[in-house]
A and B are shown apart, each in its own frame.
Chain A
Amino acid sequence: MAGTIVEGRNVAEDRTLTPDFCIIGSGAGGGVCALKLTEAGFDVLVLEEGPNIPKEKGPAPAQERKMLNEREVEMYKLLYQEGGTRLTKNGGVKVMQGRCLGGGTAVNWSACLPPRLETLDEWQKRGLPFTRQNLDSYLREVVNYLPVVRNDKYNSSARKFQLGCARHDIPTENLPNNTNKCRECGSCGVGCPYDRKMSGFVKWLPDAIALGANIYTDTRVDRLVSSGDQIREVHAHFIDHKTRPTKRKLIVKPTKGVVLSAGAIGTPSILMRSDLDLDKRVGKYTHIHPITITIGKYPEETLPAYGVPDNMWTPKFAPGPTGYLIETGSFFPVFSASATLQHGDELHRIMREYFPTGAISYAHHTTGFDDKEEYGTVELDDNGEPQLDYKIPKANVVPMRESLVMMARIHLAAGASSVYVMRNPPLEVKSDADFAAIRKIDFTKPQASTIYTVHVMGGCQMNKDDKRRCVNNDFTFRGKKNLWVADGSIFPTALGANPQITIYSLALWAARGICEQHQRPFKLNHQQGGELPWPGY
């Protein structure tokens, strides 16, 4: 019998539930585990802090999700942690994380890269079991199931990037997407209203519900209650459409176990609130991919909000422990205005000059390979809410400057008359002579520039080093036999690639382990298909 989605905001009484498994979080890790454990015959309950995104047709042609109206402020409130205003403790990095049915998969830009081989090698040194070879079947499952495709319709930002790179002999490649007949509205980052992005609420979760999984949205987990090596209960409360508690509570008493998939800030915070972090290692070594951004100003109108946002990149600068991936995107008025670091007439001039004729490129920076650095720490504030204490690692300062220089060079070569660099005070680069100013930016100083991240990893890592290990190689949390962690928090370093495909694949691995432990069938159903969409991988 099919399961259902219960919207916690509408629950009028306290409830107690007794599924086999309680999965906390409905993003990349939670969605996969929900489907595979339900397929194996378990009674599965998923708890999601964010709201449901019901399938309800809107007025535009083929608009499948009326709630997703592409308007930035409304969608940031609906779909993102802290309404899209999550910041690191020192205010230096804007942390964009999903908080809705589907989690990060609902709001990412559809970019699909495999785990970086260099990173897998590094992880093996730290005792993790994953290799290119033993991940192959999981990668194929994800690629064929979603599917992951090569969409070669490029927006203006991608075309300018391709042109500028060609003039500098920098190779560019198609970046595969998990889209199906994309309508090119450009709005991946605020939720696809047309169900053309194969996010969790389009694929994994409906398939799990069809097989019997139940989902509670608007449900914030307070703590796990344990005795001995077992988690006995999950305590949660319901929140309303403005994220305020409704005063109604949920207690889950799972008979077989709990899977934590609340992401690299959410998962450590739940463990800390549950007093399961006895030796204070949870939340440590949290990593991000700090993002540097440039916007080029071109002679002609570019309509930068529309088109496929993220299907072009260059791998040239990716290698190494502090390498970076340059990708392209789309951008919108609110995002642009909140990144300018400008006020008064200059704010409006920048918006009026750069928005209509702009093209964006940005770089994700790899971090986390140097064991001498501590990187970020997830902490609980006085209200028990998580915040990430993070300072840009010194080793990344020069690569971050160089990524800005390289992106500016590419824009200028493609015909941009100037390039906006979100430094404080802002910098408009018009020639090579301006690169010296970029090379002076002190990224370790908060608010010296606008830095974003959309990828948070680590904080509950798998590691052979007993002083760092929170999660065992079978994905169980240390000391608890019925608690598994299946999300990006298990990464011991940053990945160096967009992480959704890796999280999907590792969650499949985790689900297989759970099924085997309980002697239930685990099957990969989508192994038939062509080559993986990453040439040479």
Chain B
Amino acid sequence: MAGILSSALNASAHPKNRSEVTQTTFENLNKKTALILFAVAESVLGEGFLVKAPRFIETVDDFLNYQRAAQRDNLLLALLVAETTFGLMIGKLQGFSHLSLADRRKILQKLRSGTAQQRNIYVAFVNVSAATYYASDLTWPDLNYPGVSVDHPQILNHPPPIPWRPADPRPIED
């Protein structure tokens, strides 16, 4: 049933083309769902998010491999439902990806306080977008996050007092 619905929605969805989405081969997404995902992520993260997360679409596409099949299908379905019906939530007939950023954020706001299903979609969209964005090293300077110890061994070997226990003069054991 979900498969039939997905096929029907996929046929009727005509997401806005974005020059930023250059990927042409996918494992789980297709060109349409990739464009909708881009529009969703832009509404969560803001314009230009690919500058700091250039592999965003590729990362999500790969990550979907690891999800339970039914959960993966639900996310893909949610993207298609968003494109084909969510405009109506704010009285617009356009597809989600064709709406202005402000309108898309109005929809997110409505989803977060909507029905259980709508809240689940809100959380899925926000989690996928935010987690993938902040997985990118290029966003870490915004958080003053130096990175992981295997890339920056000085985190382990920093002479005492090391920053996260400034009052403790003991060296790290080796």
Interface of B is mostly: helix
Q: A218-244, CB under 8 A of B: which get 1 and which 0?
A: 000000000000000000000000111
A373 CB to closest chain B CB (Å) equals 21
Q: List 8 A-B contacts (CB under 8 A).
A: A60-B149, A61-B157, A69-B151, A183-B149, A302-B164, A338-B130, A344-B44, A385-B68
Contact partner of B70 (CB less than 8 A), chosen from A306, A345, A381, is A381
Given known contacts A337-B131, A348-B46, A60 and B150 CB-to-CB distance under 8 angstroms: yes
Q: B13-28, CB under 8 A of A: which get 1 and which 0?
A: 0000000000000010
**Are A344 and B164 in contact, with the CB atoms below 8 A?**
no
Contact partner of A70 (CB less than 8 A), chosen from B27, B120, B126, B149, is B149
A198 to B119, CA, bound (A): 40
Q: Quick one: which of B134-164 are within 8 Å of A by CB?
A: 134-135, 139-140, 142-146, 148-151, 153, 155-157, 163-164
B-chain residues with CB within 8 Å of residue A424 when the two chains form the complex: 112-113, 119, 123
**Are A87 and B46 in contact, with the CB atoms below 8 A?**
no
Does B108 sit at the interface, judged by CB under 8 A? yes
**Are A344 and B156 in contact, with the CB atoms below 8 A?**
no
Given known contacts A73-B63, A86-B68, A348-B142, A183 and B156 CB-to-CB distance under 8 angstroms: yes
B-chain residues with CB within 8 Å of residue A333 when the two chains form the complex: 134-135, 139-140, 143, 145
**Are B144 and A185 in contact, with the CB atoms below 8 A?**
no
A85 to B66, CA, bound (A): 9
B144 CB to closest chain A CB (Å) equals 4
A-chain residues with CB within 8 Å of residue B105 when the two chains form the complex: 343-344
B9 CB to closest chain A CB (Å) equals 19
Does B10 sit at the interface, judged by CB under 8 A? no
**Are B150 and A156 in contact, with the CB atoms below 8 A?**
no
Q: Quick one: which of A65-109 are within 8 Å of B by CB?
A: 68-73, 76-77, 82-83, 85-87, 90-91
**Are B70 and A156 in contact, with the CB atoms below 8 A?**
no
B-chain residues with CB within 8 Å of residue A445 when the two chains form the complex: 116
**Are B144 and A356 in contact, with the CB atoms below 8 A?**
yes
Those 4 A-B pairs whose CB atoms lie nearest each other, nearest first: A83-B66, A70-B148, A337-B130, A447-B119
Contact partner of B151 (CB less than 8 A), chosen from A60, A155, A182, A243, is A60
Residue of B nearest to A307 (CB): B164
Given known contacts A58-B150, A424-B112, A447-B119, A343 and B43 CB-to-CB distance under 8 angstroms: yes
A338 to B130, CA, bound (A): 6
B-chain residues with CB within 8 Å of residue A340 when the two chains form the complex: 126, 130
Q: Of B31-39, B79-87, B88-96, B166-174, which binds chain A? A: B166-174
Does A153 sit at the interface, judged by CB under 8 A? yes
**Are B156 and A155 in contact, with the CB atoms below 8 A?**
no
A-chain residues with CB within 8 Å of residue B100 when the two chains form the complex: none
**Are A355 and B143 in contact, with the CB atoms below 8 A?**
yes
Does B7 sit at the interface, judged by CB under 8 A? no
Contact partner of A71 (CB less than 8 A), chosen from B27, B71, B135, B172, is B135
**Are A337 and B134 in contact, with the CB atoms below 8 A?**
yes
**Are B71 and A351 in contact, with the CB atoms below 8 A?**
no
A305 to B134, CA, bound (A): 14
Does B59 sit at the interface, judged by CB under 8 A? yes
**Are A181 and B43 in contact, with the CB atoms below 8 A?**
no
B-chain residues with CB within 8 Å of residue A68 when the two chains form the complex: 150
**Are A153 and B165 in contact, with the CB atoms below 8 A?**
yes
A109 to B142, CA, bound (A): 26
**Are A185 and B155 in contact, with the CB atoms below 8 A?**
yes
**Are A425 and B148 in contact, with the CB atoms below 8 A?**
no
Given known contacts A73-B132, A302-B164, A61 and B153 CB-to-CB distance under 8 angstroms: yes
A90 to B116, CA, bound (A): 8
A-chain residues with CB within 8 Å of residue B12 when the two chains form the complex: none
A-chain residues with CB within 8 Å of residue B120 when the two chains form the complex: 90-91, 446-447
Residue of B nearest to A356 (CB): B144
B35 CB to closest chain A CB (Å) equals 19
B108 CB to closest chain A CB (Å) equals 5
Does B69 sit at the interface, judged by CB under 8 A? yes
Does A342 sit at the interface, judged by CB under 8 A? yes
A109 to B131, CA, bound (A): 21
Does A154 sit at the interface, judged by CB under 8 A? yes
Q: Quick one: which of A174-195 are within 8 Å of B by CB?
A: 181-187, 193
**Are A356 and B68 in contact, with the CB atoms below 8 A?**
no
